Structure 1
């Protein structure tokens, strides 16, 4: 697919940002989400959305709107019980393949009693390979928890129940690409990945446990909506637009990294024998 090029007016930071109106976007899972594939395996009712996976197919949804910067929240309860082989993906994606931008949460299922792995990744202009993985300090199968992506001109922050788990700074001044030119749509899917997801594919999906079901509610998008080829918004000072980590947030991020991070591409010397990516040498 060809590259999708976007040049929204809200990216002319020095001049046109002063001319924009304040736009607050509310979102509702029943009206602002489209069940995009999987037939009747994807269902919505009474503010609850459920995706299911059986041997025939998985399912997925997408947001009706595309966003260029914002804070996206979703409450998710992942597949309970023996979920080995399944992946519940929740992510922003710009469309296209070769030069796409993407911000990923992926929940890698496991056998009963073993912890889920929360897999995160970032793509800028088609370049990914920025994986970080975590265990969580709770069992995400037992209840709904809020998973948030904050994306502004300064940085991208991943949150779990309001606790930051990952930060990716805008380091364009150091020659590191940052996603800022392509609006992205929110997607989620539940699919079978037993060729790699659980212990590198050693544990296969137990189809006697199907259908596997992931549940969603509480969708919120406080974001700049892309429409008719442009984005026009300037959130209020102190909102997500210029939000970063204060000292308390930085301490929480350090706590997560110390106690729950199980993989960091910036520490995988075997994977990068010629040297780590340049952002790895810069503090978050």
Structure 2
């Protein structure tokens, strides 16, 4: 079996395993579920609320946020990223709470020169502190079609998924003295913006504005989640499984195989960054 066939077999097997984990999700149109919050018309809701696009030019990027706040849930969104030479651009897609000691669960997609892979950046913040980055090269072209990027967030763990494949897990290890986001409701945000001072090859490759406007597209938002309003959280009665679901040992093993093939940065192995020792959770299995 050649390498590409081997990787495809891993992903197909893992997809079959993970997509059975979670209960059905519920969708809303973009005009019902989101507000475009900045960009002076560069964010657009199209096709009767079924499609949303963000664009970036030399003058400004754009962004949106969910009308609702969530406290635990399974969040899915399909994205098609900026095609062609996207160097210098960042498409951010994340959950975040309010205030100076915020919690946050991040996907960020760092653009690159035509033909080079996008870097998918992930991070988890607790009480305003992040520094838990893991980065991946995707095994497909994320600009050619829509792909589903998901967050499962429950009291046991946070799982990042791509097309139903678990790529990263951040466990609740409060019993070991490690903070876990569980008290602050979060909104879902996305933005497309210029970050050519750091985004591509550490800032060596700058944005080529002759390719502007840059555009990212969104569809098929679904949230099976506990909605927080006025300090109270209401959970769907039909969704007990995602609230308690954990990855079994087989799924965790398969996730580690995917990480071994596609992870390009892991804060847990960056001893130069953490000369006094990597964060505590890195040594707990």
Please report the TM-score for the alignment, with normalisation by the length of structure 1.
0.88
- Corresponding residue of 1:242: 244
Q: How many residues align?
A: 259
Q: Which piece of structure 1 moves more, 249-258 or 192-201?
A: 249-258
More helix by share: 2
- 1:113-132 paired onto structure 2 within 5 Å: 113-132=115-134
Match of 1:81, SS state, is coil
Tell me if structure 2 keeps the 8 A contact 1:163–1:249. no
- Corresponding residue of 2:87: 84
Structure 1 residues 237 and 143 mapped into 2: Cα distance closer, same or farther (>3 Å)? closer
- Structure 1: which 4+ aligned runs deviate by more than 4 Å? 234-238
- Corresponding residue of 1:176: 178
Match of 1:197, SS state, is coil
Residue 157 (structure 1) aligned to one of 156, 159, 184: 159
Structure 1 residues 237 and 29 mapped into 2: Cα distance closer, same or farther (>3 Å)? closer
Tell me if structure 1 keeps the 8 A contact 2:224–2:236. no
Q: Which piece of structure 1 moves more, 225-234 or 155-164?
A: 225-234
- Corresponding residue of 1:36: 37
RMSD: 1.3
Write the deviation string for residues 212-232 of structure 1: whole angstroms up to 9, x where unpaired.
000000000100001122113
Deviation at 1:239, TM superposition (A): 1.8
Deviation at 1:248, TM superposition (A): 4.0
* CA distance in 2 between partners of 1:119 and 1:230 (Å): 32
Structure 1 residues 282 and 236 mapped into 2: Cα distance closer, same or farther (>3 Å)? farther
Tell me if structure 1 keeps the 8 A contact 2:167–2:255. yes
Residue 66 (structure 2) aligned to one of 63, 67, 88: 63
* CA distance in 1 between partners of 2:233 and 2:239 (Å): 18
- Corresponding residue of 2:99: 96
Deviation at 1:26, TM superposition (A): 4.4
- 1:1-284 paired onto structure 2 within 5 Å: 26-46=27-47, 47-97=50-100, 99-233=101-235, 235-236=237-238, 239-283=241-285
Please report the TM-score for the alignment, with normalisation by the length of structure 2.
0.88
